[in-house]
Amino acid sequence: MKNTLQILVMLSAFFINAQNSVLITKGEVMNRVMEHNATLKITEKDIIAAEGDYRQTNAVLLPNISLSHTGIATNNPLMAFGVKLNQQIVTQADFNPDLLNNPRQIEDYATRFEIQQPLLNFDGFYQRKAAKAKMTASEYQSDRTRDYLVLEVEKAYMQLQLAYKTVEVLEKTREAAMENKRLAENSFKQGYLQKSDVLAVEVRVTEIDNQLQYAKSNIHNASNYLSVMMNDSTYQILTPADSLKIFANQFSMQNVSENRKDILAMESAKEAYYQNYRSDKMSFLPKLNAFGSYELHDDQVFQGGSDSYFFGAELRWDVLNGTKRFGKAHKSKAEFEKAKLELEQYKSESQVELNKARRMLQDTKNNLELTTLALNQSKEALRIRSNRFAQGLEKTSDLLMAETQYAQKQLEYYFTIFQHNSAVAYMEFLTKE
């Protein structure tokens, strides 16, 4: 009765999970990740921020235009006379010394249109190039993040497949264990087996139940991880539409490609540091800017009784700004040299990682062949011992050992497929241009 109740509880839990699960393909997961993944959206915001920095450098090329309207009231002798001049209302009587020294209050409303146009700003030009390189680096980094998410989806989806395969193997193993338990109980009733043999079979069934529970928990864990990647807060139990299969592998590339997105991103970052260094060096040169303004003056608001303009150009050379510019150029040169060294180091480490991944792929390929042979051997051994046990010619302990080995070899086989496919996916990630 107790065993029957335990079976009913497990079956009900299984059917509840099955009803709540959602069938999904790897392509659907990939599309949702590319559309909703939070990490990818963060990199997109980084690109937008870099574009904003680049657009700010348009000030090197485009004019700065401003419009203002100012109102004042004064009896300051100098300013009062200047206001009259701006309003073009000076008369002969205004030169009376008494009026000049003690003017009455006068009001002035000025509308000013001002423009400043950079002409030669060498350091600004290189700052613009640095911002462009930084934006390009952000775009490459975002593309590489997409490549990494493809790898993570491959692995996470295979983990889900492996979890279901593990449940499938353990459920079949449990069916076989329950049948062996039935045979053992019949043999015990007929006096062919001892009570300890029956208990050993029951212990084996309990072990399988525990393993099955862990395997079902792994289904939940794998589903939740995929939900996080898809930015799905429902956390549904997912069921893969296809089974775990061996990936083909054909990789001829021996060296890391210079066109890989992460390497291109570091190349662009190095270029940004180089342009910043050139900008700091160019800050020692003079700057040439044009300027001009157009003004309207009146004693009434938003009126223009008189107008005037002026324009000109300024050649400005900051000969010595303490040692600030020297220190800044020294720092930017060091940052550029550091970026070059980091790029070379990253290329070397990437090549080592590619070599390691290639060896790992070969190892998993060899291990896959060995586990296939071991699986077939353990399957045949279990078949022979099961037949002999049914005829009363095999010990219970030997049958349980054969059954355990076959289950282990099945799990090892599917786990080796997972390792092999993960190695293939990782090689694709490392060799992707």
Checking if the pLDDT of 132 tops 70, the result is yes
Q: Using CA atoms, how far apart are residues 260 and 430, in angstroms rounded to an integer?
A: 8
Q: What is the pLDDT of residues 237-270, one digit of tens each?
A: 999 999 888 888 777 777 888 999 999 999 999 9
What's the mean pLDDT in 14-30?
75
Checking if the pLDDT of 367 tops 50, the result is yes
> 157 and 26 in contact (C-beta within 8 Å)?
yes
Q: Using CA atoms, how far apart are residues 34 and 145, in angstroms rounded to an integer?
A: 10
Q: Using CA atoms, how far apart are residues 82 and 347, in angstroms rounded to an integer?
A: 69
Going by pLDDT thresholds of 50, 70 and 90, the confidence category of residue 192 is low
Q: Using CA atoms, how far apart are residues 268 and 275, in angstroms rounded to an integer?
A: 10
Residue from 40, 428, 135 nearest 257 by CA: 428
DSSP secondary structure code for residue 60 in this structure: G
pTM: 0.81
CATH superfamily of 2-68+120-287+323-431: Outer membrane efflux proteins (OEP) (1.20.1600.10)
> 170 and 212 in contact (C-beta within 8 Å)?
yes
Q: Using CA atoms, how far apart are residues 248 and 135, in angstroms rounded to an integer?
A: 37
Residue from 209, 59, 43 nearest 141 by CA: 43
Going by pLDDT thresholds of 50, 70 and 90, the confidence category of residue 25 is very high
| 299: helix, strand or coil | coil
DSSP secondary structure code for residue 319 in this structure: -
CA triple 11-15-21, angle to 5 deg: 145
Instruction: Give the number of other Cβ atoms within 10 Å of residue 94's Cβ.
Output: 14
Checking if the pLDDT of 7 tops 50, the result is no
DSSP element (H, E) containing 288: strand 287-298
Q: Residue 207 has what pLDDT?
A: 87
What's the mean pLDDT in 400-410?
82
Q: Where are the domains of the chain?
A: 2-68+120-287+323-431
> 208 and 173 in contact (C-beta within 8 Å)?
yes
